Structure formats: structure tokens, C-alpha cells
Structure 1
Amino acid sequence: MAEYLGADGELLHEQGTLVVAGVCQDSRQVRPGDIYAALPGAEHHGGEFVAEAAQRGAVAVVSDRPTEILPAFVVKNPRKILGPLAAWIYGDPSTSLDVYGVTGTNGKTSTTFMLEAGLAAAGLRTGIISGICVRGPDGVSEAERTTPEACTLQRTLSAFVDNRVDAVAMEASSHGLALHRVNGTFFRVAAFTNLSRDHLDFHKTMASYFDSKAQLFLPERCACAAISVDDLYGKALAERVTVPRLTFSSHGASADVTATDIEADQTGTSFVARHGSWERKIRLRLLGCHQVDNALAAIAALRIGGVDIAAALDGIENLDTVPGRLENVEIGQNFLAFVDYVHNAGAQLRLFPYLRSLSKGKIIVVIGATGGRDPGKREPLGRTAGSHADVVVVTDECPYRDDATALRNDVAAGARHANHAEVLIIPDRSDAIRTAVCLAKAGDIVVVAGRGNDNVMNYDGTEIVFDDRQVLERALVKYAK
């Protein structure tokens, strides 16, 4: 059977014409008129569910496998063409929006929230697509992953257009780029925060990880760029991009946009931002020196994007929290307690010096390693925590199918290798958080690390509802001195 795509959203083949309503890669969510994208997966192939998709009203299939159940477009790599196909079906929505994409190892979520706050304060109708939530004028939903699958992304962008959104702030993960989820999306500005070891279970090498990030900055993907040059990867990226770009630095590197006079305390973070003759003193309500890096990323992106920067900065300064990102949990205790998403050594090196600056007491960290990830992260994760904290409580984080005991032992071995902190292994995360609170005295700092705002732990497919913030608050109420 010969098939091809015609104009006006029609699927043409030798037996007639089918009108296409949308595209979906989850057979359980197919709606009448959808093309079903039957993709290869880690455990199952979408081709196993074509019959279910047909029952739900799918009119055709895109896959790397043939099927006799529905008209099929068989291509070598369906993921590559799925984004452009979905964009075409939904009216190429990113061309009607100013999409600001943020990529990098750490800081993506905070930068994305700052961008959305700045865009809104500048008078634009906004949407946000992040690892925490997807939010627009028609409401908010919990994010399933950092960067949505291609079909979901294009459908979301199309809904934003229908709701008269002007600009979108969006996280672009390395998985989202490598798996072609952002194909078919054009970015007004692409921003790069930093790069350090993470996700090598997927990318295998740092070079491959970097190359995935760099895809966002190709001229067919973005109109312009904002790039941190505070690490070697950012410097390399700035040299290779061909689109107009602004570089930024908070560490004294030669850059277009810079930050100086950085001061961070228990209530916020101050710095002076400069770009050419433009200068402004900024006071963030977000905590930690690392938020200066994220703010600079947003500032550089907004400036090169042509946004009213004075108004945008008012919005950034008024942003008071990013869920699970150094989120203060306060019930009147005589020590500080935070929940933070920090889950790799690079992020730890950004966090711990700030925590140390807040107190001369002990830093007590609750930490673990997520299963199904790069095993090479575990020892450095523990070693960095052990080097900077005074007490390291190693516990379960989200083992998935990995051996939870092995995960804990690897992290604990790294912490002990630092030969600095007291190291405890407490498998149950609730018990670990309770122990950290019980150990804390006046002037100390407790930080529950690794999960941020995640609210589910997974043990070999069994999901347990668990919110670090809620568990920490209950422990403080019951045990804080």
C-alpha cells in the first residue's frame, strides 16, 4: 500500500484519503483520527500495541516495523521524523511562539523558571515546560519527564498557540535532544548553563553528552544563543556556534554579560550584572551563589531575545521559590533545613560552599544514588558530600531495578574515602531524614539531597509515594530541638 502525506493534514494512500487529527505514541492515549507512533522502547516495542491503537481510532502508524492492521509509514528511525511530523500536523506551533530553550547539566529548571518569570513581567503571555510542571493560561499539569516526547511537546505548543501565548520557557534535556524529542521545534533563544558528569549510562562518554547538548545550538534549531563560558564545554560551544550569541560568566571569565559583587545569605542573593554600558544591581529571593549563574543565563537569553530587560528583571527578582531547589523547610527550629535536587558532584560543588557560608555548625546531608543511572557517579557523589559535609547519612533514593544495598554501599564508600565526615548508612529514607533532624543542633544545617520535588520512589517497579519536603517537615515537628 502506498502512503504519503498531503496538504491540509490529510493522510493519502491508494485506497482513499484519511483526515489526521493528531499524533500519539502511547496506544492508551490515542484519540480518533490520530497517527499512532509505534516506537522501539527499552522493554517493549510500540508495534505490539497497534491493535489497541486501532481500536481507539488510530488511522495510521509510523514505525520501523510493518503492520497489516493499519496503513503504515515504515522508516528506519521513526523518532527522527516524529517531531517534524507532529509539528506539521499541529500547524508548526513553535514558529508562532518565542521559545526559550535551556540546556546544561545543572541549573536548567531554575533558569527556566526565571525566564518564565521575566517574560511574564515584561508583559508577555507565557507558558513553561519544565521537569517540574507544564503550565500555561489553561492550567498546570505535572511533568512526566524533563523534556516531553515529541508528540506531547508539539501538542502542548499547539495548545499554547490556541491560548494566545507569546513566549515559552522550556527545558531541553540531553535525552530530549539525543532522542529527537525537540525535532520540529524552533527556538528563539537557546541557553547553555554548564556541563559536568551525568547521564553517562545513556551517553557513554562526555564527548557524546556534550554533542547532544550542542545540537540545540544548530542554526536550523535556534535563532540565537546565550552561553556560559565558565567551563571548558561552554567555551568550546561558544566557539563553534554560528548563530548570534551572548556569552556570560560569574567567575571572571571574559564574557559579554558578567556578574560581580556576589553576596549570598540566608534570605537571598545579590550581585551586579553588566553588559556593555548597561549595569544593574540585582537581589534574588532564591538562595545560593549558584543562582547567580542561572540568573545570568536568563538575563543573557532575555537580552539577546529582545525582551524589555528592566521589566523582566523585576519578575526575576520577585521569584521566591523553585520547587525542590534549595527549598527551605521552616517550622521555627533553631537550625536550617533544606530540600534540594542536587544529584551529581558538579551540583554539589555549587551547593556546599554556600551552605558552609551560612553556618559555623555542622552540615548534615541525607544522600543516595538513583538506580538505572551511570554507576560511575556514585563514588564521586559520596566523596564530594563526604569532603564538604560533617555528617553524611546514606539512604535509598530511587533504586528502580538496581540493588539498593549496592547503591548505598557505593555512595558510602565514596563518602568514607574523603576521610572527613561521619558516615551513616540508614536504608529507610524516612528513618534517615529523622536521624539527620535528631542529630542537628542550634546553628547546624540539614539538607535532604537528590530528589527535590519528586514525590514517588520506585523499587523494582513498585512505586511508593514519598515527598522529601513533607517527610522533613514532619520530622522537624516531631524531633527538632
Structure 2
Amino acid sequence: MDVEDLWSPVSPRSLCEIVVHLRRAGHVVAEADVGDRPVITGLCQDSRRARPGDLYAALPGRRHHGAAFAAEAAGRGAVAMLSDRPSDELPTVVVDDPRAALGPLAAWAYGNPSTAFDLYGVTGTNGKTSTVYMLEAALVSAGLRTGALTGITVRGPGTVRPATRTTPEACELQQSFVEFVEERVDAVAMEVSSHGLAEHRIDGSRFDVAVFTNLARDHLDYHASLESYYAAKARLFARDLCERAAICIDDDYGRRLAGDVAVPHLTFSAHDPAADVYATAVRAGRWGSTFTLHHGGERVPVRLQLLGGHQVDNAVAALAALCLRGIDIPAAVAGIEALDAIPGRLERIDVGQPFLALVDYVHNTAGQHRLFPFLRSVTAGRIVVVLGATGERDPGKRAPLGFTAAQYAEVVVVTDESAFFDDAADLRNDVAAGARRAGAADVIVIPDRGEAIAVAVDLAGEGDTVLLAGRGHDPTLVDNGVSIAFDDRAALRNALSTRAY
């Protein structure tokens, strides 16, 4: 099923019932022409996906306001609108903050589906996707039917479709939960982004376990400050959203959160024995990692096929969350050990070349500082990295991305990522300037990403490592509103296959 086909009906409710519900929830509601009190049989946020009987949630966006598309929604059968402004096209329920109203409203309208299974939510700057993949693998190994929502895919026993964003919008999220209920899942693991939290997309859902991985500078194009970014993440751990929490104490923000939360929780760490769950004897190598997991008096050996010491952090996060739910840990470990790849997360591309070739989503300096030392430990020769900066993101990240890469790599090939509506040359220049400032690497600027990847492959020799950084699994490049299909993994495989060895 594609997301365009995702739709679930709700029990028919009059617009009056919805107004009463919103008021009982504490929202100030101004009824701007509710007409003949139409009956609502569905909810949608995208005017292009409206169906007969829908309540169309017209929300403010970065470039456009949903109310501008009310006529399209009405033309497709929507019978009313929820917004912060009235409409001439549809009977409208006006509230001050429609985003804050919509999440709980959608959960209520769909019968609170998140209460029908165990729901695990993972938030943090880095590691969310990998931790969710590990949770899913562990739960399956423990004998449970599972669902998963990541920035890569939405997957259940009868559902597989590409994700549209890290955390779905409120209506799509609740409709996905309804799917999982219909598929009789026992547990669902999902990524919870700071955007999803700040925009109340997950409000109205109930998380049995919330997981905090880490926090470092990111998304400051959206959040006013690191403090605002932390506050958005911390929302997941409030009593009205989660039952219990697993919190990593390997950075200051995690230690702060562990001291602030009011829900039952345990702490975890990749190295600190002061945590409730922690790892010792960590060894990260070319073919995976090993460590010993400690929880209470239990010691469990773990062998990961996934590359990178940072995956030990993510495995400990997943196992700590499962400890809170009483999942059989040896069975969970077996599932995580069987996981041999996560799309675009230090994914190995191998056609028989005499050097490592990897694709990774790393897109901030905190991730780089975790990743590059590992690459250095498994690289006898040079590190050749291809990277750029995504447009319409925090401009303050660009130069540091280049600088940090050039501190570790011998060759930095700066190229285009998705510029969106930013100037691609400006993005390249900022990254390249940071790389040159490090004064340690050869810096090459090649705008065309396919050409940049081919050059990096041509430069690599026996014992080297080629890393395509920043995009991971992303299947498209977007420039000035135009999208083209481009998968780093396919491009790297093609470049490797073209070269003779």
C-alpha cells in the first residue's frame, strides 16, 4: 500500500460532537459557520487525499497555509475544516492552535489505537532509525507480531511502504496505528522526531516505553536554540505521553533528562557502569562489533553484524527498552545479532573491490565524531569521503561538516545534496570552506553527485575506505522544487562495477 492509499474511516460523528470534544479537551473553539452540522466519517491533512465525509485539517506550513487548499479538499468530498482561520469553502471549526488540537482529536476519532499494543518511541539526535530496526528484530525474535515506523519505511505483518517523513503527520500516524490493530500486532516501534514532538503529531498516543539516545546540535533551522531542541525531545517523556523511559546518560542532556523525568525509568550507557544497563568489553571491527551487556546481575554476550561502534550504543538502547517491558533478553539479543544491514546506515557496497565502500546517513558533527574514528580503525590506507549539505537546514552546520570530515579523511569530495530552494553553490562553498580550514585533506569540489562518486571511487586504492556521507537511503535529490531519482547506494555500486580491478 502506498501512503496515497492510506485511509481509515472513523465512527460517524457530527461536527457538533467534535466541537464538544475539543472544548472538553481545553481548546478555545470559535465556530465559524458550521452550517448544517455535517457528519464526519474521516480525517485528512492533505487536500489531495481528501475523501467524501472527511474533516480537512488545514494547518499552517512553512510556505503555504492548508486553508489555501480548502476548495480542493471540498471538491474531493471533505465536508468540514479544522483550522485557525475561517473558510468560504467549508464549514470551519476555528481553534487557536490546530496542530495541538489535531493529534488528540485524531487519536480519539480513531478509537485510541495506540492502546491496543505496546508502543516504543525512540527520540534523540542520532541512532533513532537503527534503534527502531533493532527493537523490531528483537521483538520478532521474542515471538511478537510487530509494526515499525521509521524515516525509511512503515512496516507491519501485511504492510510495507516508504515513509514520507521521520514521524508521520497526526492523521497518517493514527491511520497507521489502525492498520497495525487490524493486523493484530503485539508491539510497534517508531521514531519520534523533534519536529513530530514540536508539532504535536504524536499527541494523543500512549507510549509504553520512550527511549532517549542522545542530543547534539541539529535542526537549529527549525528550533530556536539547543535548549528549544532539548525541550521538544523532552516532551516525549511527560506523564501524558509515556508510561516509562529508557534514557542514555552518555551526554549532558541525557543525564539532565534522567534527573527531570517523573515517570519510572532506567538509565543505559555504552560504557558507564553507573547506568542500570551498560556495555563492557566493546570491540568494533571490520566485520561487526562485540560487547557484553550488563543488567542487574545478568551478563549477556552480544555479537553485532552491523558496522560501527555507534551501533553498540543503539543495541544497548534497544535492549534497555526491552528490559523495561520484561522481554526475554537472550531471545531479543538473538534477533539483534541476526540483523545484517540497515538501509543507508554504514551500508557496505561490495563488488569485489580491494577497499571498503560504504553509504551512511551521518549528517551532523556529533555523528561524524562517532563514525570517523571507527573508519580510521579499520582503514589501512586513506579515507575518501563524499559529502555535501542539505538545503533549508541550519546554515551553521555546513562549514563544521566539512571541517570535521577533513580532520579525519585524506580526501574530501564536496558535492551537491538536495538543495531544495537554497543555492546549491552556496551550500558547496560553505562545506568546502570548512574542509579547507582544517588544512589536512585534499578538497575537491564536483557539483554533480554522480561524477563526484565516480571520482572518489577512481581515487581509492587497496586498503582505502570510500564513504558517501549524508544521504543514506534517500532515493531522490531535490533542487529548486524539481525531484530526480538518485540513490547513493546504486550510484556507488555502478561506479565500483564500472572500474576494473
Q: Does residue 388 in structure 1 map to residue 408 in structure 2?
A: yes
Return the offset for 1:253.
5.7
Match of 1:447 in 2: 467
Distance 1:299 1:85 in 2: 33
When structure 1 is superposed on structure 2, of 220-229 and 471-480 the one drifting more is 471-480
1:3-38 CA distance string (max 9 Å, x none): 3428999xx998766432221010110112211001
Return the offset for 1:344.
0.7
Is residue 22–residue 86 contact of structure 1 (8 Å, CA) maintained in 2? no
Q: Does residue 369 in structure 1 map to residue 389 in structure 2?
A: yes
Correspondence for 1:414 among 415, 434, 445: 434
Distance 1:273 1:176 in 2: 31
Return the offset for 1:55.
2.0
For residues 14 and 20 of structure 1, do their structure 2 counterparts lie closer, same or farther at Cα, with a shift above 3 Å needed?
Answer: closer
Equivalent positions of 1:193-212 (< 5 A) are 193-212=213-232
1:223-250 CA distance string (max 9 Å, x none): 0001110000000000000111111111
Q: Does residue 460 in structure 1 map to residue 473 in structure 2?
A: no
Is residue 229–residue 253 contact of structure 1 (8 Å, CA) maintained in 2? no
Is residue 132–residue 148 contact of structure 2 (8 Å, CA) maintained in 1? yes
Correspondence for 2:496 among 464, 467, 476: 476
Q: Does residue 174 in structure 1 map to residue 194 in structure 2?
A: yes
Return the offset for 1:196.
0.7
Distance 1:392 1:16 in 2: 64
SS at the partner of 2:155?
A: strand
For residues 480 and 264 of structure 1, do their structure 2 counterparts lie closer, same or farther at Cα, with a shift above 3 Å needed?
Answer: farther
1:342-371 CA distance string (max 9 Å, x none): 111010011101111112200000010000
Cα RMSD over matched residues? 1.8
For residues 262 and 89 of structure 1, do their structure 2 counterparts lie closer, same or farther at Cα, with a shift above 3 Å needed?
Answer: same
Is residue 451–residue 468 contact of structure 1 (8 Å, CA) maintained in 2? yes
Unpaired runs of at least 5, structure 2: 1-13, 23-30
SS at the partner of 1:200?
A: coil
Match of 2:18 in 1: 5
SS at the partner of 2:184?
A: coil
Distance 2:37 2:145 in 1: 38
Distance 1:420 1:94 in 2: 51
When structure 1 is superposed on structure 2, of 46-55 and 179-188 the one drifting more is 46-55
Equivalent positions of 1:98-137 (< 5 A) are 98-137=118-157
Q: Does residue 431 in structure 1 map to residue 444 in structure 2?
A: no
Return the offset for 1:419.
1.2
TM-score normalised by length of structure 1 = 0.97
Match of 1:79 in 2: 99
Unpaired runs of at least 5, structure 1: none
Equivalent positions of 1:282-431 (< 5 A) are 282-431=302-451
Is residue 15–residue 39 contact of structure 2 (8 Å, CA) maintained in 1? no
For residues 444 and 14 of structure 1, do their structure 2 counterparts lie closer, same or farther at Cα, with a shift above 3 Å needed?
Answer: closer
| Identical columns (%) | 58
For residues 350 and 480 of structure 1, do their structure 2 counterparts lie closer, same or farther at Cα, with a shift above 3 Å needed?
Answer: farther
When structure 1 is superposed on structure 2, of 46-55 and 146-155 the one drifting more is 46-55
Q: Does residue 213 in structure 1 map to residue 243 in structure 2?
A: no
1:30-74 CA distance string (max 9 Å, x none): 112211001111222111221221222212110001124332110
SS at the partner of 1:147?
A: coil
Q: What amino acid maps onto 1:394 in structure 2?
A: V
Q: Does residue 61 in structure 1 map to residue 81 in structure 2?
A: yes
Distance 1:8 1:365 in 2: 54
Is residue 289–residue 304 contact of structure 2 (8 Å, CA) maintained in 1? yes
TM-score normalised by length of structure 2 = 0.93
Distance 1:126 1:280 in 2: 24
Q: Does residue 226 in structure 1 map to residue 246 in structure 2?
A: yes
Match of 2:278 in 1: 258
Match of 2:45 in 1: 25
SS at the partner of 2:300?
A: strand
Correspondence for 2:169 among 141, 149, 163: 149
Distance 1:439 1:461 in 2: 33
Match of 2:60 in 1: 40
SS at the partner of 1:203?
A: coil
Distance 1:109 1:120 in 2: 17
Q: What amino acid maps onto 1:340 in structure 2?
A: D
Between the two proteins, the alignment pairs up a number of residues equal to 479
For residues 116 and 2 of structure 1, do their structure 2 counterparts lie closer, same or farther at Cα, with a shift above 3 Å needed?
Answer: closer
Q: What amino acid maps onto 1:72 in structure 2?
A: T
Q: What amino acid maps onto 1:399 in structure 2?
A: A
For residues 405 and 307 of structure 1, do their structure 2 counterparts lie closer, same or farther at Cα, with a shift above 3 Å needed?
Answer: same
Q: What amino acid maps onto 2:196 in structure 1?
A: G
Q: What amino acid maps onto 1:224 in structure 2?
A: R
Is residue 37–residue 61 contact of structure 1 (8 Å, CA) maintained in 2? yes
Return the offset for 1:121.
1.1
1:261-291 CA distance string (max 9 Å, x none): 1111111110000011011000011111000
Q: What amino acid maps onto 1:183 in structure 2?
A: D
Distance 2:37 2:92 in 1: 14
For residues 2 and 227 of structure 1, do their structure 2 counterparts lie closer, same or farther at Cα, with a shift above 3 Å needed?
Answer: closer
Return the offset for 1:139.
2.0
Q: Does residue 89 in structure 1 map to residue 102 in structure 2?
A: no
Distance 1:45 1:394 in 2: 36
For residues 7 and 404 of structure 1, do their structure 2 counterparts lie closer, same or farther at Cα, with a shift above 3 Å needed?
Answer: closer
Distance 1:49 1:383 in 2: 43
Distance 2:473 2:151 in 1: 10
